A and B are shown apart, each in its own frame.
Chain A
Amino acid sequence: DIVLTQSPVLAVSLGQRATISCRASQSVSISSINLMHWYQQKPGQQPKLLIYRASNLASGIPARFSGSGSGTDFTLTIDPVQADDIAAYYCQQSRESPWTFGGGTKLELK
């Protein structure tokens, strides 16, 4: 199975940039298609799609969210961080089944 590794916690100040990383145990790209996706989950709620195929903003998601990366290293950036962004963030790969998620990064306020 492809293992996705995320840092458990990231502390940021409001108005600053948050950079959340996800590293895969093997490449999750096919040709130029990067099969990595990002979700936000707030306590007691279901996950919400933020970014698909590494860099495509999902419908209704604010432009302060962006994604980048290829191969094994991917990044979700939130700039600037707002209070409503305090949540857990998960990456997910769909390069091969079973599709796997990272362990999640909790975004906290400094």
Chain B
Amino acid sequence: QVRLKESGPRLVQPSQTLSVTCTVSGFSVTSYHVSWVRQPPGKGLEWVGAIWKGGSTDYNSALKSRLSISRDTSKNQVFLKMNSLQTDDTGTYYCAKHGIETTGIPTHYFDYWGQGVMVTVSS
């Protein structure tokens, strides 16, 4: 059974660093890509970045300078770090598993999502 669960602080001060952990079960992070997606309160979804099953990463260019995504394969965990947080970084942060590739063309849809962690940036 595929599960993803995010954990991290609910409150972060402006200019500080956000650290969120995604712990997965039912699949290996060395077999499937994992992405981070965020959602400001009452607004839409924004793709943050991804870590490929091979370990390399891809980041949203709008956030790239502040982002780091890594993993611990022994614990089947993926980590998101975002620095220099501002109030507009407030929102729910989700990790999501990529679907299986069957066409030979990278498809990158998200077939399983964690429940998300709501992060508020405020002093």
Min Cβ gap A8→B in Å is 10
**Chain B residues with Cβ under 8 A from A58's Cβ?**
111
Name which residue of chain B comes closest to A49, CB basis: B111
**Chain B residues with Cβ under 8 A from A101's Cβ?**
44-47
Min Cβ gap B49→A in Å is 9
Docked-complex contact A46 and B106, CB < 8 angstroms: no
Q: Number of B residues whose C-beta is below 8 Å from A?
A: 25
Docked-complex contact B45 and A49, CB < 8 angstroms: no
Known: A52-B99, A98-B47, A98-B60. A47 touches B111 (CB 8 A): no
Main secondary structure of the interface of B (DSSP, over half): loop
Name which residue of chain B comes closest to A93, CB basis: B108
Could you tell me which A residues sit within 8 Å of B by CB distance? Answer: 1, 30-31, 33, 35, 37, 39, 45-49, 52-53, 58-59, 90, 92, 94, 97-104
**Chain B residues with Cβ under 8 A from A30's Cβ?**
105
| Most chain B C-beta atoms within 10 Å of own C-beta, residue among A1, A53, A59, A103 | A53
Docked-complex contact A94 and B106, CB < 8 angstroms: yes
Name which residue of chain A comes closest to B104, CB basis: A33
Min Cβ gap A26→B in Å is 17
A97 touches which of B58, B99, B113, B116 (Cβ 8 Å): B58
Q: Please report the number of residue pairs spanning A and B whose Cβ atoms sit closer than 8 angstroms.
A: 67
Q: What would 13 A/B residue contacts be, using CB atoms closer than 8 Å?
A: A1-B61, A33-B105, A39-B45, A46-B114, A46-B116, A47-B110, A53-B109, A90-B44, A94-B108, A94-B109, A97-B58, A98-B60, A101-B46
Docked-complex contact A99 and B113, CB < 8 angstroms: no
Besides A46-B114, A100-B47, 5 new A-B residue pairs in contact (Cβ under 8 A), listed by A number: A1-B61, A39-B45, A47-B45, A47-B113, A103-B44
**Chain B residues with Cβ under 8 A from A33's Cβ?**
103, 105, 107
**Chain B residues with Cβ under 8 A from A104's Cβ?**
44-45
Complex: how many Å from CA A99 to CA B45? 11
Docked-complex contact B107 and A46, CB < 8 angstroms: no
Name which residue of chain B comes closest to A92, CB basis: B109
